[in-house]
Amino acid sequence: MSFKKALRSKDFVLMAELPLTPNSTSDTLLADASLLRDCVDGFLLTDNQYGQPHMAPSMAASILLHNGFDPILQLSCRNRNRIALLGELLGARAIGVETLMIVRGNVLPEGYSPRPQAVMDIDAKDLMATAKRINEDELLGASREFLIATAATVHNPRPDWHPEELLAKADAGVHLIITQLCLDVDVLRRYMEALVSLQLLRRVSVIVSVAVVPSAELAVWLRENRESAIVPVAMIERLRKAKNPQSEGIAMCVDLVREIAEIPGVSGINYAVSADLETVRESIEMLDIAR
């Protein structure tokens, strides 16, 4: 079953980011995907996250599709001009990609030399609308329609908060939002309560990004360096005190996902990229939630 079909038919879906690095090959990519084959419904291929050069995500998607895996292809407006992005959309459709994640792209970190130029020839909502027009174009046929996803930022909403940005993305054709890394269930619960009360979940589904964090040092790094990541201080302290931080990190992730699965409106989990996918697999195998 494809990720798109799983999202529409299952109560709770699981997806995972696959690490793409300068050293990635078809063999390493397939080995990583095979490790989680029976655990997740789809694999997110990020588009040069943090400016890191690696195999083109569209090429990685082609490799996965050819070997029976379902990729979720991320496209960033930061990295290509309008014509190149349109070519990526048409190419993705041609090879059978069903799910896109369209993002603006983060500001590149300092220290790159030579520093790459951020393109931004088209903004994310325009690219979403373009993907929607491709879906609706009768000349292209209706046999393949993209499920369009984008990013959203979990936060503590004010009582008068109105999600204009999310509504604009829904108007542009978005069906799914995938949050940033959020490891604080209390903040997430308040955010989801606001989305439910505003009836936004009648238009989009929500998947929450989590991670298996194997050390206090990594938790601190995520809190300080990963844009908008929500990493509670209590989690950092628990990892610092743990005799086996990796096992503690797995246990915390399992508990977190179980709690998230009980929050009304959450459709699934995205396991953010991990240096050790074995820990992701172990955490999923420990879950006992209905899917």
pLDDT tens-place string over residues 101-117: 999 987 666 666 666 77
Are 77 and 120 contacting, i.e. CB atoms less than 8 angstroms apart?
yes
Question: Residue 105, Cα to own-chain centre: how many angstroms?
Answer: 13
d(CA 263, CA 201) in angstroms, rounded, equals 13
pLDDT band at 286 (very low <50, low <70, confident <90, very high): very high
Domain count, the chain: 1
The domain containing residue 225 runs over which residues? 3-285
pLDDT computed for residue 213 by the predictor: 96
DSSP β-ladder status, 205-210 and 99-103: unpaired
Residue 162, domain CATH:
3.20.20.220
Render pLDDT for 138-185 as a digit per residue (tens, 0 to 9): 777 656 789 999 999 999 999 999 999 999 999 999 999 999 999 999
Q: Is residue 112 part of a domain?
A: yes
Residue carrying the six token digits 């829904």 = 170
Q: What is the mean pLDDT of the chain?
A: 92
Helix-strand-coil percent breakdown of the chain, rounded to 5? 45, 15, 40
Note whether residue 291 is domain-resident: no
274, part of any domain: yes
Look at strands 176-181 and 147-152 and give their pairing: parallel
Question: Within 10 A of 111 (CB to CB), how many other CB atoms are there?
Answer: 7
Radius of gyration of the chain (CA): 18
Domain contains 290:
no
| Alpha carbon distance 46, 191 (integer Å) | 25
Within-domain flag for 151: yes
Mean pLDDT of 191-203: 95
Question: What integer is the mean pLDDT of 45-69?
Answer: 90
